[in-house]
Structure 1
Amino acid sequence: MKKVLWIITAILLACMGLGYAAVKLDQPAIKTKKQNLIIYNWGDYIDPTLIKKFEKKYGYHVVYETFDSNEAMYTKIKQGGTAYDLTIPSEYMVTKMRKAKLLAKINTKKISNMKYIGKSFLHKSFDQNNDYSVPYFWGTLGIVYNDKFVKRGTIKTWNNLWNKKYRHQILLVDSARDAMGMALASLGYSMNTTSSLKLHLAQTKLDALGPNIKAIISDEMKMYLVQNEAAVGVTWSGEAHEMMEQNPHLHYVVPSEGSNLWFDNFVIPKTAKNKEAAYKFINYMLEPKNAAKNAEYVGYATPNIAAQKLLPEKVRDDRQFYPNRNTLNHLQVFKDLGTKKTQEYNDLFLEFKMYAR
């Protein structure tokens, strides 16, 4: 009997030992999970070497995921499948996420490098007190053209794109808000219009552009334009900057009728699990040397005034990407139009895309 009891005791002790070992083995995994910083960003929208340096400096592991539209990002954040610690929406989407109570308030006391952000980039209409957002990059929507196919200086306005000589030569960014905004601006309407009549007139004008469209695409546009496979592209300033560095025949124009002035921003989702890491990352990215390095890599304009001074002179003085005050006065910031009106923009653009094919 004693022998049986001894065997049972031995088995129990062994099980306890295995259980203790399992707990000990699990502990590093739990610790690692707590040290994760999960970032949700646009594709190729940060210098990867800066992420590595951040990991080394602060001991976090950065999990980096990407999206290709504000709407896709919004849907995933709202569904809540992943507890992202940071994401980078555009201005109108900041408003939408705030209204949907998806964002945590920003404690600017934890972001000492906020002092480097230019005053003209703070207190914008989409977040007047910067309670929920910190500026990341800004830029414009415009036209890239190749002087091998287009005489320099002949494209100055949106309306130039409807010229029959550009038949099957234009690449259009796959974005309902930008494409519809372009058509609205070409008609002299606000890019934030909520008038169904004006929206249908814009779609009709887009339909007339159909024969000139070569493709409606996203990231592939850079490859096509760099390789001289299209004459014209409608895209964002940073994308244009990257193309121009690879092909000296490319030029960028902000149309004289006006265009979109956009702002992308750091925000912390309400469901974030590691807000302290998020604050450290924002502050790290606002360090002037880091912001300048990131701006050179990405190609978009930085709102960080101290970082601008560290950029090469040819970059910071380039009025295509750092427009003067006169040009800025003709630009419009997108506003959140609400679910119903946003869907109308999307539906009209989808109809155009089907027609353009």
Structure 2
Amino acid sequence: MKKVLIAIAVIIMCAASAHAGSNELYLYIWSEYIPDEVLEDFTKETGITVHLSTYDSNEAMYAKIKLAGQGYDLIVPSSDYVGLMRRQEMLLPLDKAKLPNLSNLTPRFVNQSFDPNNEYSVPYMWGSTAIAINTGTLGHTAVESIADLWKPEMDGRLLLPNEPREAFVLALKKLGYSVNETDPAHLEEAYQQLKILMPRVRAFDSDSPKQALLSGEISVGVVWNGEAYIANSENPEIIYLYPPEGFSLWMDSMCIPKGAKNIAEAHVFLNYLLRPDVAAVISTEMGYSTPNAKAIELLPEEVRNNPIVYPSEAEIQRGEFEDDLGEAMKLYDEYWVKLKTGNTQP
């Protein structure tokens, strides 16, 4: 009996130890990218308080993590930045024994080239960057391709993401190149195309571009599909075009940065997000696609069958997932600074 009591005491102590921690979690995530109710429900279930900070670009997130080194327990980089930060040893490996819900993920979204075997990343959501058009102000034929964005009548009516990668995708696809282009000669061509396009741009917004569409400030926006989904739900005249030239697909993943302090809490939160019911709530409210196979079964029909959220297989085939560009990203950034500052001299 004494041995039994000792064994029970050891089990209790181990369980307490496993759950011991600060009960705090510092999440650094894209703006408007996780429902408040998900965070609130997580805290109710676990007692872990989530402190939320947001950013509007991968570049901003990367720079802050690179500079600060600590202060956040989870970040949400896109696939190309997962690859970059993994190569630069800025991420901690995951303890998959604490993530049994990883089995809920669709096979096509795991074991990608930017993170083989998902040693450092958990897929969160995926989607596209394409063209939202207010047909109420432009009609249905003014913009039918990427090339149409260069039309003179687009002057002052266009919004672009505040990201070099997504802006360059437009020019690269217009020229027939890959979204992952690294050839300096091809990037120079794309830069020259963007020099022509920039005067058409009224606003740059990676935070909440749907607001400019809904207010009528702009008529065409190159936006993420979740932004288009919400804008379309409020104004059906705003449609989403998957351009014939092609477009970028992306996947955002949850990662633990090297300076994280609350690693146990981070794993608890990751496993929570991988629950089908939780992933379904996130996809429904945010308007982005979930990589969680079991969550798709729980989605409302109007979300599951909405082509803005879940494009057809034929449309997906025209898309191209963004990957890490390596050293070539420096050239993108250099060109982007010139384009944004108006310093387009050689």
TM-score (norm 2): 0.89
Among 214, 217, 224, the residue aligned to 1:229 = 217
5 Å-filtered alignment, 1:89-108, equals 89-108=77-96
Among 296, 299, 305, the residue aligned to 1:308 = 296
Q: Work out whether 1:351 is the aligned partner of 2:333.
A: no
Compute the displacement of 1:170 (Å): 0.8
Call closer, same or farther: CA 1:57–1:228 in 2, change over 3 Å: same
Q: Work out whether 1:192 is the aligned partner of 2:180.
A: yes
Compute the displacement of 1:81 (Å): 4.8
Corresponding position of 1:16:
none
CA distance in 2, matches of 1:228, 1:211: 19
Call closer, same or farther: CA 1:80–1:219 in 2, change over 3 Å: closer
How large is the Cα RMSD of the aligned pairs? 2.0
Q: Is the 8 A contact 1:144 1:233 kept in 2?
A: yes
Corresponding position of 1:61:
49
5 Å-filtered alignment, 1:1-357, equals 34-338=22-326, 340-355=327-342
CA distance in 2, matches of 1:81, 1:328: 37
CA distance in 2, matches of 1:77, 1:300: 25
CA distance in 1, matches of 2:28, 2:199: 37
Compute the displacement of 1:300 (Å): 0.8
* Cα deviation 1:211-259 (Å, max 9, x = unaligned): 3222223335221101122211111111111211222210011111111
CA distance in 1, matches of 2:122, 2:21: 26
**Structure 1 residue ranges, 4+ long, deviating more than 4 angstroms after superposition:** none
Compute the displacement of 1:173 (Å): 1.2
CA distance in 2, matches of 1:204, 1:129: 39
Q: Is the 8 A contact 1:213 1:356 kept in 2?
A: no
Corresponding position of 1:19:
none
Q: Is the 8 A contact 2:304 2:310 kept in 1?
A: yes
Q: Is the 8 A contact 1:46 1:294 kept in 2?
A: yes
Compute the displacement of 1:353 (Å): 2.3
CA distance in 1, matches of 2:123, 2:311: 18
Compute the displacement of 1:301 (Å): 0.9
CA distance in 2, matches of 1:321, 1:44: 16
Report the number of matched residues: 326
- Stretches of structure 1 lacking an aligned partner (at least 5 in a row): 1-31
* Structure of greater Rg: 1
- Stretches of structure 2 lacking an aligned partner (at least 5 in a row): 1-19
Question: Identical aligned pairs, as a percentage?
Answer: 37
CA distance in 2, matches of 1:166, 1:334: 27
Call closer, same or farther: CA 1:91–1:220 in 2, change over 3 Å: closer
